[in-house]
Amino acid sequence: MSEIKLEHLVKKYGDGFAAVNDVSLDIRDGEFMILVGPSGCGKSTLLRMVVGLEDITSGDLHINGERVNDKAPRDRNLAMVFQNYALYPHLSVYENIAFPLRLQRSRHPEPEIDEMVRRAAGLLELEEHLERKPANLSGGQRQRVAMGRALVRDADAFLFDEPLSNLDAKLRGQMRTEIARIQRRLGTTTIYVTHDQTEAMTLGDRVAVLRRGILQQCASPRELYEQPVNLFVAGFIGSPPMNFLPGRVEGDVLHLPIGDVPLPEAARAAATGHDLLIAGIRPELFEDASVLDRSRQAGGVLVDLDIDVTEWLGNELYAYVPYEPDPAVRAKLDELDRDLDGEGMRTQLVVSLDAQSRVRDGDRARLWFDPARMHLFDPESGVTLTRDEEVAARLDAENEDLRQGSLERARRAADRAVPA
Amino acid sequence: MDRQLSTRAKVGWALGGLAILVYALFPVAWIVSLSLKAPSDLSNQQFLPTRFSLENYREIFTGNASELFLSALRNSVGICLIATFISVVLAMFAAYAIARLEFPGKRLILSTALAVAIFPVISIVTPLFNLWRQIGLYDTWPGLIIPYLSLTLPISIWTLSAFFREIPWEMEQAAQVDGATNWQAFRKVIVPLAAPGVFTTAIISFFIAWNDFVYGISLTSTERARPVPAALAFFTGSSQFELPTGAISAAAVIVTIPVVVLILLFQRRIVAGLTNGAVKG
Ligand SMILES: Nc1ncnc2c1ncn2[C@@H]1O[C@H](COP(=O)(O)OP(=O)(O)O)[C@@H](O)[C@H]1O
Ligand SMILES: [Mg+2]
């Protein structure tokens, strides 16, 4: 059992810069928590504060109900995998993994150490490499040794700092599933830092999105995707990213650069008092009208667009439609782009269509989408106006149920595997 | 075309290397040959001895010159080892601070060390001579160890801080998270990683002290503290009509041997240590 509680944590570096600013998180027992955000947003700093390598400027950190702000790393009983693995180059793989155990020699006799190291090595398929030195291993193997060193002892929680960022894309995918499998199996509380939203979405029970040291939203992947609290979260989560279009409100109609759409029932209340809104439409909400079921067309609107470039990927087709943004929201969208590590590229709409679609570069295509699933944002504050708290709460509860269920299953499976 | 050029280049390099080798090794070969000549052969104007004789070696180890030579050898070894040890320990602390900590005056320390290193030794010998005589350090071991530190410390600090900068300090943090105390992290992780650098530095320091002549000759007067390079100048022939050339050559060969052996044994380490600052691993 281990719960980690962050209460108003602040980290100010020597120059007075607040790398982490008033972050509160409640990480539950056995939970896989992701810290995600663009580079430089303070994820690593926050993780290092939890593990004890960085002093806490203000706020409290509790592990299992005990305040640990002033405890040395070794007294916090957390295991960490570093971004560049930090393997000990002068020790063999075996000794690297055994290192944490040897430091508590009083508690482990030699045969027990051997058994624990071999069990960890077995879990990570490192048995053949135990006698080798880290310098002679491939990137993926080193990564697994680093994980072995973390798994081998009975730590209260695992902390990962971008553990997959040094691997190539294929290996990254494999290791990602491997980490998910091991975490489920051991049911150990885990905090995982990444800048990659795919990793965040696939691994996390819950995901905490950070921007410039400030926590934006902490929720299940599904809630982040469907009910983001603001422009930043909406733009960060999802790939390809959400399209942001300026929209002028006129009665019940919203004028978008791609055409006029009726304001959906639910959004009307939110839109009152605003002339100008930012509309967020995910690429996959668009469909090619010519291959869409007649029955589905009823609920949505049709827009005719000039397609600039298409990319056919086999399972889907991306089409790009450039447009001129409204100068009134230009500044806001540029700022958002910078926050998201964007390149300040041309403003264009990205749509993801069925792979059956015959739309090609230069075509004028008729696309369909359902405005009811569109998000609307306040152009000044960036707050989501269409967020439905009830739905969000339901998603949250559902997510927690599912998590408890799978943790329960994993624990039962583990009990069966190791009869008491 | 490519191949031809590279063959020609190879031959050129080989010839160039050979020329340098001959140029550098010829005096060494000459001394070795001199040391093996019998006294009657010494000025026969031939490169090789007509008859190989170990008489010169006998002379310095058991003969007339032995008193001078053996005590000088003992002085040299003792003084150089102590100077090396002190300089490496001090340089380790300094380099650790320079590599790990941000503090005002960091650049000042490094540039002062460099300034000391290039300061001409000969200009401080006379004042030192007077000072040492006044405070009783003249012709003692500490009287040489202290000036030797001024030779070895700057280079030790520079080599070690270049080396320490390359140590991935995240490793120390990893060890702490793994459950090590600060001291355990230092001893089990940092020391093994730093050892090659410390070792290289120690060898370089030792040679610098070992090769010194100016301090050795100026700050000593008897065999109490006189090191080998200085002692060579005091060798006399067996009679006043004989030059001590043979004995000097033999002694020179003997003091070169540790240098050559150490270099050969630790060639790789030294090269790795020296290039460590320049090449990122
Ligand atoms: N030792 C330090 N001194 C001063 N500023 C730092 C230090 N370490 C990190 N920072 C700053 O804190 C911010 C957050 O850094 P970090 O936590 O490493 O970001 P992330 O891991 O999200 O990329 C960055 O702007 C960085 O420049
Ligand atoms: Mg980071």
What is the DSSP secondary-structure string of A45-57?
HHHHHHHTSS--S
Tell me the residue range of the domain where A378 lies: 231-387
Three-class HEC string of A183-240: HHHHCCEEEEEECCHHHHHHHCCEEEEEECCEEEEEECHHHHHHCCCEHHHHHHCCCC
Question: What is the domain count for chain A?
Answer: 2
Q: Looking at the domain assignment, is residue B244 inside a domain? A: yes
Residue A61: which CATH number?
A: 3.40.50.300
In this structure, is residue B276 part of a structural domain?
yes
pLDDT higher at B46 or B227: B227
Give the domain-ending residue among A195, A223, A251. Answer: A223
We report the CATH number of the domain holding residue A242 as: 2.40.50.140
Instruction: Tell me whether residue A413 is in a domain.
Output: no
Beta strands in A340-389 (DSSP E): 348-354, 364-369, 375-377
Residue B31 has pLDDT above 80, yes or no: yes
Q: How many CB pairs under 8 A join A and B?
A: 51
Are A213 and A235 in a shared domain?
no
Q: What pairing do the DSSP bridges indicate for beta strands A189-194 and A157-161?
A: parallel
List, in sequence order, the alpha helices (H) in A227-342: 231-236, 265-271, 294-297, 327-339
**Residue closest by Cα to atom 21 of ligand 1:** A44
Task: State how far residue A76 is from chain B, nearest Cα, in angstroms.
Answer: 8
In this structure, are A342 and A207 located in the same domain? no
Residue A89 Cα to ligand 2 middle (Å): 23
Going from the Cα of B98 to the center of ligand 2, the distance in angstroms, rounded, reads 25
Q: At B209, which CATH number?
A: 1.10.3720.10
Give A 92-151 residues with CB within 8 A of chain B. Answer: 99-100, 103-104, 149
Is residue A240 reached through a cis peptide bond, with omega within 30 degrees of 0 on the bond before it? yes
For residue B280, what pLDDT is reported?
32
Residue B112 lies in a domain: yes
Does residue B64 lie in a domain region?
Answer: no
DSSP designation for A372: G
A399 domain residue, yes or no: no
A243 falls within a domain? yes
For B167-196, the pLDDT digits (tens) are 888 888 999 999 999 889 888 888 888 888
Helix, coil or strand: residue A62? strand
Contact B193 A89 (CB under 8 A): yes
Sort out which chain A residues have CB atoms less than 8 A from B181's CB and list them: 72, 74
> Are A199 and A87 within one domain?
yes
For A88, which of B176, B177, B189 is closest by C-beta distance? B189
pLDDT band at B271 (very low <50, low <70, confident <90, very high): low
In a domain, A372, yes or no: yes
Q: Is residue A414 part of a domain?
A: no
Is A317 in a helix, a strand, or coil? strand
Q: Which residues of B touch A80 (CB under 8 A)?
A: 174, 177
Q: Ligand 1 pocket: which of A21, A41, A338 to mutate (most atoms <8 Å of CB)?
A: A41
What one-character DSSP code corresponds to residue A135? G
Boundaries of domain holding B237: 73-280
Q: Do B177 and A149 touch (CB under 8 A)?
A: no
Kindly list the protein residues that place their beta carbon closer than 5 angstroms to ligand 2, a single-atom ion: A 44
Which of A169, A204, A223 is the C-terminal boundary of a domain? A223
CB A377 within 8 A of CB A231: yes
Output the average pLDDT for chain B.
Answer: 86
Whether B149 is covered by a domain: the verdict is yes
**Residues flanking ligand 1, CB < 6 Å:** A 13, 15, 17, 19, 37, 39-45
Residue range B142-157: average pLDDT? 94
Q: What pTM value is reported for the model?
A: 0.80
| Alpha helix segments (H runs only) across B119-223 | 122-135, 141-166, 170-177, 182-185, 191-211, 214-218
Residue B19 included in any domain = no
Claim to verify: residue A266 and residue A345 sit in the same structural domain: yes
pLDDT tens column, A278-309: 999 999 999 998 888 877 777 789 999 999 99
> Are residues A29 and A107 located together in one domain of the fold?
yes
**A328 shares its domain with A363:** yes
Do the domain assignments include residue A181?
A: yes
Q: Residue A345 has what pLDDT?
A: 63
Q: If you write DSSP's letter for every residue of B64-108 in order, what string do you get?
A: TTHHHHHHHHHHHHHHHHHHHHHHHHHHHHHHHHHHH---TTHHH
User: Does residue A313 form part of some domain?
Assistant: yes
Same structural domain for residues A219 and A235? Answer: no
Same domain, A82 and A110: yes
* Rg, C-alpha atoms of chain B: 23
Its ipTM equals 0.83
In the predicted model, is pLDDT for residue A132 greater than 90?
yes
pLDDT given at position B274:
56
Give the DSSP H or E segment for B4. Answer: helix B2-35
Over range A353-357, report the average pLDDT: 90
Same domain, A71 and A136: yes
In a domain, B13, yes or no: no
- CA-to-CA distance for A25 and A206, rounded, in angstroms? 11
Same domain, A203 and A240: no
Q: A383 and A332, same structural domain?
A: yes
Residue A217: pLDDT over 90: yes
Q: What is the pLDDT of residues A168-213, one digit of tens each?
A: 888 898 889 999 988 988 889 999 999 999 999 999 999 999 999 9
Structural domain count, chain B: 1
pLDDT score, position B136: 93
**Cβ contact B168–A86 (<8 Å):** yes
Residue A419 belongs to some domain of the structure? no
**Are A283 and A305 members of one domain?**
yes
Let me know: does A400 contact A392? Beta carbons within 8 Å: no
Query: How far away, in angstroms, is A80 Cα from ligand 2 center?
Result: 14
Q: Considering only CA atoms, which residue is closest to atom 4 of ligand 1?
A: A13
